[in-house]
Structure 1
Amino acid sequence: MKHLETSYKTHDGIELYLQAWMPESPKASLLLVHGLGEHSSRYAHLVEKLTEIGVSVFTFDGRGHGKSVKGKPTAYFKSYEDYLKDIDALFGKVKSYVPDVPAFLYGHSMGGGLVAAYVLKYQPKADGVVLSSPAIKEAEGTSQILIALSSVISKYLPKLKALKLDANKVSRIPEEVEKYLNDPLVYTEAIPARTAYEVLQVMRFVQNLGSYFETPLLLIHGSDDGLTNPKGSKLLFKKAKSSDKTLKIFPGGYHELINDLDREEVMDLIVNWIKERT
């Protein structure tokens, strides 16, 4: 199996860090989109299981994230539309590198919201979509005044550190929380106002257009996720027109299901779901 590292220049001139793991005779391909504040190398254990069943996995550090930033990550990006263009360009590359096999999309957290929005907006030829703890619905009790203010702050003070996420809600395993907090490529400060506002726009887009979702879909979420609302996954599952759709809520599960107490069961579910569709 080959592990490739390279970079990709976006439509607006940003260099994104890319990596891929390619088995010798791939049976499928997958583009993985990571979550807010983190980076693509945190999925190596899932990648290992996917390559074992012959899936070529391609992934990238998004705008403002991981190795796509010279210096420290900022988690800042100006427009979710730009992020969708990146996903579209890279999914196109995946399909040209590994032609004539089923192609899948995987998105976690903010990446899950972006992948859902990408599928709805671009209608790509994908053979299946896995959304892990996707950001589709804002937290319960989010103030409407705060939401209204967010557009103003985002416009005039886009890089203002506006929203602090609680790292303890990442996993029920203390070592995983420590690993997350001590990783220099993970952004753990408050999220910039523009980024938070753009993620909110992604959520609204998916909420409004979810009924146009027709691609085979696996949705997974933890019932006790304190970072993305499980009701978002339930909403998309209900709205999606996909004839092949599955929703699995893990009781007591926190945000990063592949790094939580049920991780082996979670990864087996993902791997088997993809295997059955290749």
Structure 2
Amino acid sequence: MSSSSVSWLEGPQKTKFFTRFYQAATPQAVIVFVHGFCEHSTRYVEFHTKLADSGISVFTYDQRGFGRTSMDEKEKSKNSSYGRTGWDDQMADLNWAIGYARQQVPGVPLFIMGQSMGGGEVLGFATEGDKSPYAATIASLAGVIATSPMIQQTTPVNRILRSVLSGVKLALPNMLFPADLIPGHLSRDGSVGEAYMKDEFVKNTGSLRNLADMLNHGDEIKGKRWNVWPKSLPVIICHGTDDKITSCDASKDFLSNIACESKHFVPFEGAYHELANELPDVKEKLLREVVGWVEKTVKQPTEVAKL
């Protein structure tokens, strides 16, 4: 039987992160999970508990600028505020989380998994390149899992508005801007959108720097980063075909472009954006796909992946 715990841990820039750890009784692998834009890690307790019950430990955290990491007035760092984050911060934070998870679950393959913005982050981390400070960490990964990744929006933001936002962010990087996310687009389960609206740790806004970085790096992943995907790094992308927030076609195009020995795309017919919070049949399928893919991948793990 699995167990779970909550901790506040000090990460990069001496920032305190709200974290959750789900320990499998006999772990065959560990996943570092990165949540999406405007939200937080607690929204995935059910999914992460089931992963741990299936033999896969999970370490997750409220990202810098989001959730309790930015809004818990009793515990958060003095340098933390909602929306105060950007791509470089997110890459450093993910690298830290990977290192911590390795210490907690040593000797098993480690995977990174992200949802939406977090999906874009894990794909982006894997394509930071051989000269990045994270090259050794990337080489040690057993695989990458992305659900509904933010590569491109289903309905892209107007280019003129994006140019204006990118310009203003230089002067006012932490200024908050409406995200215009429709809760009903998260899931076909209406209770998910209702809970999202009532969640005290959800704000439907983002900083100009975070918004610009998220969209611009999505363009990079689609436009050129795919070309440096590590050939031997397995990847699976799961995406709802009726996702109204991030583009399912962009996910398919990304996978078709990369030169990877093991790549897998799983469409979820009719599903919306948050597969882990969708209707029961979708949630069950997602769990089966992720657990099955991890089990298949770890049967022949590289020696590096076991470090």
TM-score w.r.t. length of structure 1: 0.93
**Range 198-207 or range 130-139, more displaced:** 198-207
Separation in 2 of the partners of 1:41 and 1:142? 29
* 1:175-214 superposed matches below 5 A: 175-187=191-203, 189-207=204-222, 208-214=224-230
Question: Kindly tell me: are residues 5 and 71 of structure 1, through their superposed partners in 2, closer, same or farther at Cα, counting changes over 3 Å?
Answer: closer
The match for 2:31 is 30
Question: Kindly tell me: are residues 74 and 139 of structure 1, through their superposed partners in 2, closer, same or farther at Cα, counting changes over 3 Å?
Answer: farther
The one-character-per-residue Cα deviations of 1:245-278 (angstroms, maximum 9, x if unpaired) are: 1111222211001211322212221121112223
Structure 2: which 5+ runs fail to align?
A: 74-79, 129-133, 299-307
Contact 1:162-1:193 within 8 A present in 2 as well: no
* 1:43-62 superposed matches below 5 A: 43-62=44-63
SS at match of 1:276: helix
Contact 2:226-2:257 within 8 A present in 1 as well: yes
Which amino acid letter does the alignment assign opposite residue 109 of structure 1? S
The match for 2:243 is 225
Question: Kindly tell me: are residues 176 and 140 of structure 1, through their superposed partners in 2, closer, same or farther at Cα, counting changes over 3 Å?
Answer: closer
Q: Is 1:250 the counterpart of 2:234 in the alignment? A: no
Separation in 2 of the partners of 1:238 and 1:80? 25
Question: Kindly tell me: are residues 4 and 111 of structure 1, through their superposed partners in 2, closer, same or farther at Cα, counting changes over 3 Å?
Answer: same
Q: Percent identity?
A: 28
What is the count of residue pairs matched by the alignment?
277
* 1:104-183 superposed matches below 5 A: 104-121=111-128, 122-123=134-135, 124=138, 125-158=140-173, 159-183=175-199
Question: Kindly tell me: are residues 71 and 20 of structure 1, through their superposed partners in 2, closer, same or farther at Cα, counting changes over 3 Å?
Answer: closer
**Range 248-257 or range 74-83, more displaced:** 74-83
Separation in 2 of the partners of 1:141 and 1:182? 27
The one-character-per-residue Cα deviations of 1:162-185 (angstroms, maximum 9, x if unpaired) are: 431111100111112112222222
* 1:62-73 superposed matches below 5 A: 62-71=63-72
Separation in 1 of the partners of 2:182 and 2:296? 36
Separation in 2 of the partners of 1:13 and 1:51? 29
Separation in 2 of the partners of 1:71 and 1:153? 28
Separation in 1 of the partners of 2:260 and 2:14? 36
- How far did residue 192 of structure 1 move? 2.7
Which amino acid letter does the alignment assign opposite residue 221 of structure 2? V
Contact 2:236-2:263 within 8 A present in 1 as well: yes
Q: Is 1:275 the counterpart of 2:295 in the alignment? A: yes
The match for 1:100 is 107
Which amino acid letter does the alignment assign opposite residue 239 of structure 1? N
SS at match of 2:297: coil
TM superposition outliers: structure 1 runs of 4+ over 3 Å: 70-75, 138-142
Question: Kindly tell me: are residues 141 and 130 of structure 1, through their superposed partners in 2, closer, same or farther at Cα, counting changes over 3 Å?
Answer: closer
Root-mean-square deviation (CA, aligned residues, Å) is: 1.9
Contact 2:71-2:201 within 8 A present in 1 as well: no
The match for 2:302 is none
For residue 79 of structure 1, the aligned residue among 75, 86, 93 is 86
SS at match of 1:69: helix
**Range 155-164 or range 120-129, more displaced:** 155-164
TM-score w.r.t. length of structure 2: 0.84
For residue 236 of structure 1, the aligned residue among 249, 254, 258 is 254
Contact 1:164-1:191 within 8 A present in 2 as well: no
- How far did residue 56 of structure 1 move? 1.3
**Range 234-243 or range 80-89, more displaced:** 234-243
Separation in 2 of the partners of 1:23 and 1:266? 18
For residue 234 of structure 2, the aligned residue among 204, 216, 219 is 216
For residue 263 of structure 1, the aligned residue among 274, 278, 283 is 283
Separation in 2 of the partners of 1:84 and 1:92? 13
- How far did residue 71 of structure 1 move? 4.3
